[in-house]
Amino acid sequence: MSTCVRCGLSATRQRVVIGSGPLTARLMIVGEAPGRTEDEGGAPFIGPSGKLFFALLQEEVGLTREECYVTNVVKCRPPANRTPTPKEIETCRPWLIEQLDRVSPRFILTLGNTAGRAIFAYQSGIGQVHGHVYRSGKIQGVPTYHPAAALRGGPSVVDVMRGDLGVIRRLMETA
Ligand code: URA
């Protein structure tokens, strides 16, 4: 994956941001695409939105970053952090599928619409589907807001994310 040139994002990226965490993780966290900090550092969610998200995860679910497998739908930073195109998402999908196969998580949390739609294939917006439970075989998944929206939207989005994280916590407790 680290030498992938399947799409044009390879021309402008610094690093392919593959993912982080143990392949034995029960929970997989999927975001949209690397931002500037991740492109420079080579790991997912190490910038401001990651800091916020992992603080919330610790408080609401009791898990640390190191206990989860963390990745993105698209592994290379889109220029100026634009949303990845449907073509880029499809071109990168085999890498995500391989990660899902290898980690085989029991639970998936998606952050934001791009990740939620890519994994759960819903058509509506995150406002309608956040906190709902999607089931596929042995996997249970919950979409929530992207932490960048919480950084922009302030305390009300944070509160909604806390509620969605509570859904995942209860699923993990009862599994
Ligand atoms: N936003 C994302 O969606 N993923 C990251 O890794 C960082 C910011």
- What's the pLDDT tens digit per position in 31-43? 999 999 999 999 9
Give how far Cα 22 sits from Cα of 25, 69, 70, 86, Å. Answer: 5, 6, 9, 29
84, 88, 93, 99: CA torsion to nearest 10: -60
Ligand 1 centroid–CA 45 distance in Å is 5
First vs last C-alpha separation in the chain: 33
Which stretches of the chain drop beneath a pLDDT of 70? none
Of 24, 70, 15, nearest in space to 44 by CA: 70
**In testing the pocket of ligand 1, which one of 13, 18, 36, 49 has its CB within 8 Å of the most ligand atoms?**
49
Ligand 1 centroid–CA 46 distance in Å is 8
Ligand 1 centroid–CA 35 distance in Å is 6
* Mean pLDDT, all residues of the chain: 97
Q: What pLDDT is recorded for position 107?
A: 98
Q: In what order do the strands lie in the sheet with 107-111?
A: 69-72, 27-31, 107-111, 139-144, 134-136
- Ligand 1 pocket residues where CB is under 6 Å: 31-35, 38, 44-45, 47, 49-50, 72
Q: What pLDDT is recorded for position 175?
A: 84
Give how far Cα 165 sits from Cα of 5, 11, 93, Å. Answer: 35, 36, 25
Of 28, 35, 54, nearest in space to 161 by CA: 54
111: exposed, middle or buried (Cβ count in 10 Å: 0-12, 13-18, 19+): buried
State whether CATH 3.40.470.10 applies to domain 8-174. yes
Secondary structure element (H or E) that encloses residue 161, with its range: helix 155-174
Q: What pLDDT is recorded for position 68?
A: 98
DSSP letter at 116 equals H
Q: What pLDDT is recorded for position 151?
A: 95
The answer to whether the predicted template modeling score (pTM) of the entire model surpasses 0.85 is: yes
Q: Rounded CA gap, 129 and 103, in Å?
A: 25
Q: What pLDDT is recorded for position 24?
A: 98
Residues whose CB falls within 8 Å of the CB of residue 117, separated by 6 or more in sequence, listed in order? 123
